[in-house]
Amino acid sequence: MSTWSRNNRLPALATLALTSVAASIALIFFYAPVDEDGLNQKIFYFHVPIAFTAYACFGWGGWKALRHLWKGEEGADLESYVAIHLGVIFGALTLVTGSIWARFRWGHWWEWKEDQLVLFLVLFLFYCAYFMLRYSLPPGPQRANLSAVYALFGVVVILGMITVFVIIAIWAERRFIARLQLSPFANRNSRNARILVVFNPID
C-alpha cells in the first residue's frame, strides 16, 4: 500500500460512505415503488438497516470484550465500549423509526402485544444498563473486566432473542397451516384456497 493510500484511506472511505448514503436516499425516494402504506412504507429502508447496525455494534462490542478477557488485548475494552455506545444510539433510532411506522400503520406509537417490539426494547434497556454498571466503578481493571463480562452476556441475550423470533415465526406458520387445513376451502387446488392463503390473517 502506498503512502498516499495510507494517509488518505479514512477520507476516501468517508467520501465513499457519504456518496453511498446519498445514492441510497435518492433511490428510496425517487426509485423504490410505493405500496399501500404510501410514503410511510419507505421508513423501512431506514428502520431495518439501522436495526441491523445496532445488532452488529452489540456483536462487535461482545467480540472485543472477549478479546479483552481472553487475550488482554490493549484497547479492546475501549473499543467494546465505543461499539456498545454506537449500538445504543442505533437502537434508539430503531425504536423511533419503528414507532413512526406503527403510528401511521396501526394508529398507535407502540403495541405491547408485538413480541418483537417488546424484546428489542428489553435488549435496548439491557445495554443502557451497561453504562450504569461501567460508570458505577472507578477506572481500572475491575471496571474493564466487569464491563466485558456484561457485554458478553449481552451477546447471549441477543442469541436468545433470535431463538425466540424463530420460534414465534415457526409457531405462527404452523398456526396458519392448521387454520388452512380446518378451513372449508381446504382443497388447495381451488381458487378459493389460493385466495385464503393470501388473505387469511394470523390473530
* Nearest of 140, 143, 156, 141 to residue 58 by alpha carbon: 156
- pLDDT at position 62 is 93
| Claim to verify: residue 139 and residue 74 sit in the same structural domain | yes
**Same domain membership, residue 56 and residue 28:** no
The pLDDT of residue 190 is above 70: no
Do both 180 and 109 map to the same domain? yes
The predicted pLDDT at position 194 comes to 42
Q: What is the pLDDT, as a whole number, of residue 196? A: 41
Read off the pLDDT band of 2 (50, 70, 90).
low
Residues 79 and 160 in one domain: yes
Share of the chain above pLDDT 90, in %: 32
Given the C-alpha cell 460512505, which residue does it identify?
17
- Predicted local confidence at residue 202, as pLDDT: 45
Position 61 scores a pLDDT of 94
Same domain, 159 and 185: yes
Q: Are residues 190 and 127 in the same domain?
A: yes
- pLDDT at position 44 is 81
Instruction: Looking at the structure, tell me whether residues 101 and 17 fall in a common domain.
Output: no
Quote the pLDDT of residue 66.
92
Does one domain contain both 28 and 122? no
pLDDT at 183 over 60: no
pLDDT at residue 165, as a whole number: 72
Three-class secondary structure of residue 36 per DSSP: coil
Expressed as residue numbers, the domain containing 24 is 1-32
Q: What's the rounded Cα separation, in Å, for the pair 164 and 187?
A: 33
The answer to whether residues 5 and 75 belong to one domain is no
Which of 61, 67, 113, 135 has the alpha carbon at shortest distance from 91? 61
Return the exposure string of 171-181: e unless at least 16 CB atoms fall within 10 Å of the residue's CB, then b: eeeeeeeeeee
Rounded to whole angstroms, the Cα distance separating 76 from 163 reads: 28
**For 63-108, what is each residue's pLDDT tens digit?**
999 999 988 888 899 999 999 999 999 999 999 988 888 888 777 8
Do 85 and 184 belong together in one domain? yes
Q: What is the mean pLDDT of residues 143-151?
A: 92
Mean pLDDT of the region 38-56: 84
Domain shared by 90 and 20, yes or no: no
- Rg of the chain's alpha carbons, rounded to an integer? 22
Q: Structurally, how many domains does the chain consist of?
A: 2
CB 86 within 8 A of CB 131: no
Residue range 22-39, pLDDT digits in tens: 888 888 777 777 766 666
| Residues 133 and 163 reside in one and the same domain | yes
In the structure grid, which three cell numbers stand for residue 14, read together? 468517508
**Average confidence (pLDDT) over 106-130:** 85
Q: Are 69 and 152 in contact (CB under 8 A)?
A: yes
